[in-house]
A = this chain, B = another copy of it.
Amino acid sequence: MAVTLKDVAQQAGVSIATASRAFQHPEMVGSDSLARIRAAAAELGYSPNRTARALITGRAGVYGVIVPDLENPFFPAVLKGAQARAHQLGAQLLITDAGESPDGELPLVRTLAPQVDGIMLCSSRMEEDSLREAATLTRLSLVNRVSPELPGVHADPEPGIPAAVQHLRRLGHRRLGYVGGPAVSRSDQARRSVISRICAAAELDWVEIGPFPPTADGGRAAAEALLQTDATAVLVYNDLMALALMERLRSYGVDVPGQISVVGWDDIPFAAMVTPGLATIRVPRYDMGARAIEMLHQGAHEEGGPVHLGLATQFVPRGSIARAEGAGLSGLSGLG
């Protein structure tokens, strides 16, 4: 049915080995043979059988991707970036959803590992131990999770967070809130430490609200907690929470940005679609996906030691922030 190397070799009057070399190591083949083989391949429409190649080389040309939840709006852009780069590199992506279960991730790695050249693990909640075990099964590249020894990419709070804080400061805000995500989250810790440093340098007060689960429910709960504070602006762990928080505030008659300014994190597509638009710190999701695949692919050739890459974030001002004059929730606490 399909055109094989044998057909090409026959048509070109050479052996299969030579035909193979014409593609793998052209410099080892005489120029006239090379020309004939190429012509034959073109004429017959030859394309190599990846399965056969994978069997002998041990490389599949496929990378696995594990995401905790495909429906989380954070991931699609990551996948797009990953897929685009994989495509450029002649590889394909085997994408699986871990069903939000941290315990499901390691078994998935075990299943995937034998058939792929490496796995891109997104926002993994595996234990460090499991992660180490996974790393013995195949090459790994982490997205949104930092682990010593393992390569990967994450979003650097800088310069996004400092820019947001400075912006709020210029608008007259003096008391900031930070609505935190899961306390165990490394990225949450990293952001808190940047906020802390910046606020100290800029002589701003800041108060920590949370931790909350990084979900819409978490955002709604955070709204209640926020009412107990005197912050005039909040940075929120992610856009999903920020959007839910804004909704809940609105349902209490609190005006955003009139009474309180809100800044999210991620810049998911919906952040720009709501009214007022959600100001946020844009995470380069597409690039993160692309770079993670790149690292997987580079590692496949030159072992350059594991490097964890921090990609710059960017502050995106939108309608959810305003000047501090008249802002504040005084008199509202206890409403919830």
Q: Among the listed B55, B80, B83, B97, which residue makes an inter-chain contact with A80, where contact means beta carbons less than 8 Å apart?
A: B97
Q: Any chain B CB within 8 A of the CB of A251?
A: yes
Known pairs A71-B77, A79-B70; A51 contacts B96 (CB<8 A): no
Q: Any chain B CB within 8 A of the CB of A49?
A: yes
A88-115 interface bits toward B, Cβ cutoff 8 Å, 1 = contact, 0 = none: 0000111111010000000000001011
A29-72 interface bits toward B, Cβ cutoff 8 Å, 1 = contact, 0 = none: 00000000000000000010111101100001010000000110
- Min CB–CB distance A269 → chain B (angstroms): 6
A93, B92: Cβ atoms closer than 8 Å: no
Known pairs A2-B114, A51-B55; A83 contacts B60 (CB<8 A): no
User: What is the chain B residue whose CB lies nearest that of A95?
Assistant: B95
- Min CB–CB distance A136 → chain B (angstroms): 12
- Min CB–CB distance A93 → chain B (angstroms): 6
Q: Any chain B CB within 8 A of the CB of A221?
A: no
Interchain CA distance A52-B274 in the complex, whole Å? 51
- Min CB–CB distance A10 → chain B (angstroms): 20
Interchain CA distance A83-B65 in the complex, whole Å? 13
Known pairs A71-B76, A79-B95, A97-B80; A114 contacts B49 (CB<8 A): yes
Interchain CA distance A164-B76 in the complex, whole Å? 31
A50, B95: Cβ atoms closer than 8 Å: no
Q: Chain A residues in contact with chain B, CB under 8 A?
A: 2, 47, 49-52, 54-55, 60, 62, 70-71, 73, 76-77, 79-80, 83-84, 87, 92-97, 99, 112, 114-115, 216, 243-244, 247, 250-251, 269-270, 273-275
Q: Among the listed B2, B47, B55, B270, which residue makes an inter-chain contact with A55, where contact means beta carbons less than 8 Å apart?
A: B55
Instruction: Report the copy number of this chain in the oligomer.
Output: 2
Q: Among the listed B92, B216, B243, which residue makes an inter-chain contact with A96, where contact means beta carbons less than 8 Å apart?
A: B92
Known pairs A71-B76, A73-B73, A93-B96; A51 contacts B115 (CB<8 A): yes
Known: A73-B73, A92-B115. 12 other contacts (CB 8 A): A50-B114, A51-B55, A52-B55, A62-B94, A71-B77, A80-B97, A92-B94, A92-B112, A93-B94, A94-B94, A216-B273, A244-B273
User: What is the chain B residue whose CB lies nearest that of A77?
Assistant: B71
What residues on B are CB-neighbors of A51 within 8 Å?
A: 51, 54-55, 60, 115
A70, B62: Cβ atoms closer than 8 Å: no
What residues on B are CB-neighbors of A92 within 8 Å?
A: 94, 96, 112, 115
